[in-house]
A and B are shown apart, each in its own frame.
Chain A
């Protein structure tokens, strides 16, 4: 491995492993983070599930579990953002930037670590979902594709998180973003079918990237979706690919520019 790309990969992996060491050294916060979506699942499933109108013989979990998967990807935004602001505040970012490694490696490291983190989050959620009676009814390959789409959403949100993390810099603004994540999470089809919302709100919620991925995942899992017939509902899988790619196309350059701006 003598070329630049090879080194960027190797250095990126070294930096990602730092996060894995963090998990080992300080398991508390990360375990909490992994189980938080489980808490949401139980809370919404058990507390509100009874009140949800569902077609005969259909469990609310059929709708909710894929929604929570997508929601967990959204929450990942916070952990990316926090990691970025932490490293900037502690001077670790500057230390990386003064080393003979490429900035690609630094970003790649964050990317690998956060995707691994999401894989664990999803695994914990899948196990919980299965225990609660949720199943995928389609093929295993289709289920894998659904997880692929979920991780793609996480990948896109990584750049949003990196960008915001580089912009806000302080813990107070981070807290504000953490609060704002909630309405974004609720204004989607994660918890309820958008058909139950006032039509204008339902339309917005349908186009929420979170809903796109949730709807696509439900369709790949062959979990019944009560989305009203709509153009976006019919093209859910394509939308769940294109939506995150658009987000990436917008925020990856923004994040990269912002990273370079650190030297202004």
Chain B
């Protein structure tokens, strides 16, 4: 497969704005910035309606931004759309395959439209069917495929000419866990092959697993950016989880540890989570006060925040502002 040379910073977006014609005020993108290094996976993480699809559609030239600059593989998405399209693959939010024809026919069709000769398109289709474990279903109409199979076919259709840059919009939304793992491993394989991937997701777990860097999108703007670890370190304190044996103890423990917490406590059933700044000191203080109150916890653990908590933190800040 030939590779087209791409610059170090494969995707660049700065101050991109997009307001849909006839759409709600503020929906879309409101000064979106992004920078993606070659050969990395960047996760664009955000809740429903944050603007993930809008961003992907703009970067893949399907949608024109109102203002701002965006380049992909060194080409301007607005003025050099053709060059951009030659270098990208797009896996949209909803599987975009022709459902009437078979999986193989889909891949041959898109191969031909990528200007492969017929024999080359057929060969490539077979390779991709094999790679995405679709060989057995190759000659069935795509309408008969399961959600996961359709997603894989969609992914395969986007990889016919091994694009240097791949956009994947919510690849696993609506998939069952097994299909999700299949898609994850397909994406990981791609990255090993050197493709730069921009992946959008609503799942923190997914971003944490697949992405080298994460940009958190909220209301059309990136509100935080960094490696998963950086984000966790920068946002919110570590947590001390105290798991109790008796539900009756929960209010007492709350009252006891409240003064020791560096922020708001969170209670989930039998678990009391305490935000901490000084890790060991708080651990000792909490253990001591529990001992003095004669409460025997089932477990005490010190941990870093999960991405879920990071996200809640950001959202809460936004609401407060």
Interface residues of A (CB under 8 A from B): 7, 11, 14-15, 18, 21-22, 25-26, 90-92, 94-101, 262-264
List the one stretch of B110-118, B193-201, B246-254, B281-289 in contact with chain A. Answer: B110-118
11 contacts between A and B (CB under 8 A): A11-B112, A11-B113, A25-B141, A26-B141, A90-B98, A91-B95, A92-B97, A92-B98, A100-B85, A262-B62, A263-B63
Question: Are B90 and A95 interface neighbours, CB within 8 A?
Answer: yes
Q: Given contacts A7-B115, A90-B97, A90-B99, list 8 more A-B pairs with CB under 8 A.
A: A14-B109, A18-B98, A22-B101, A94-B92, A98-B62, A99-B113, A100-B85, A263-B64
Known: A91-B96, A95-B92. A18 touches B109 (CB 8 A): yes
Distance in angstroms from B15 CB to nearest chain A CB is 19
Known: A11-B113, A22-B100. A91 touches B85 (CB 8 A): no
Q: What number of residue pairs across chains A and B have CB atoms under 8 A from each other?
A: 73
Interface residues of B (CB under 8 A from A): 20-21, 60-64, 82, 85-86, 88, 90, 92, 94-102, 105, 109-110, 112-115, 141, 157
Distance in angstroms from B110 CB to nearest chain A CB is 7
**Chain A residue with Cβ nearest B161:** A100
Report Cα–Cα, A11/B111, bound state, in Å: 11
Question: Are A101 and B113 interface neighbours, CB within 8 A?
Answer: yes
Name the B residues within 8 Å of A26 (CB-CB).
Answer: 100, 141
Q: Which of B63, B110, B112, B113 has the most CB of A within 10 A?
A: B113
Report Cα–Cα, A92/B98, bound state, in Å: 7
Name the A residues within 8 Å of B63 (CB-CB).
Answer: 263-264
Report Cα–Cα, A96/B92, bound state, in Å: 12
Report Cα–Cα, A264/B109, bound state, in Å: 27
Name the A residues within 8 Å of B20 (CB-CB).
Answer: 264
Distance in angstroms from A19 CB to nearest chain B CB is 10
Name the A residues within 8 Å of B61 (CB-CB).
Answer: 97-98, 263
**Chain B residue with Cβ nearest A7:** B115
Q: Which of B20, B99, B100 has the most CB of A within 10 A?
A: B100
Name the A residues within 8 Å of B102 (CB-CB).
Answer: 25
**Chain A residue with Cβ nearest B22:** A264
Known: A21-B105, A91-B92, A94-B96. A264 touches B64 (CB 8 A): yes
